[in-house]
Amino acid sequence: MAYIITEPCVDIKDGDCTDACPVECIYEGGRMFYIHPDECINCGLCLSICPVDAITWDGELQEKYQHYEAINRDFFDDDVSGLGDPGGWEKSISTDVDHPHVAALPEDVNAHLIAETSKQES
């Protein structure tokens, strides 16, 4: 069991979740962040911080985001980012690689969220 980052993170990448995570198990890809399923301790601290509600516990994944469990896990595989089990994220291991599903999403997949978050900031 682990927490999962889902589609609303794509191209938003707020990143405050990485500061909240006590075990640094949230890793930066090109278009979104990914949670390492074996390093997450299920504390839930990242959940309330995300401004676009992209993070959820895997036991409560919405049907439309079920595939994000595999997306978070497979991101670390050799044939995707190759990060494996780094034991903790730091900026120097950020990558511009994404899971193929995420990389193939349209550029405007979260255009409505980007508009909303920029409105809140102004």
Residues that bind ligand SF4 (CB under 6 A): 3, 20-21, 23, 25-26, 35, 40-46
Q: HEC states along 36-68? A: CCCCCCCCCCCCCCCCCCCEEEHHHCCHHHCCH
Which of 57, 51, 60, 66 lies closest to 118, judged by CA?
51
CB half-sphere exposure, 53, CA atoms < 13 A: 6
Shortest CB 81 distance to ligand SF4, Å:
17
Which lies closer to ligand SF4 via its Cβ, residue 44 or residue 59? 44
State the virtual CA torsion across 22, 50, 105, 112 in degrees, nearest 10: -170
Which lies closer to ligand SF4 via its Cβ, residue 45 or residue 109? 45
Evaluate whether 94 touches 23 at the Cβ level (below 8 Å): no
Which lies closer to ligand SF4 via its Cβ, residue 85 or residue 107? 85
Which lies closer to ligand SF4 via its Cβ, residue 47 or residue 105? 47
Shortest CB 3 distance to ligand SF4, Å:
4
Shortest CB 23 distance to ligand SF4, Å:
5
Shortest CB 108 distance to ligand SF4, Å:
28
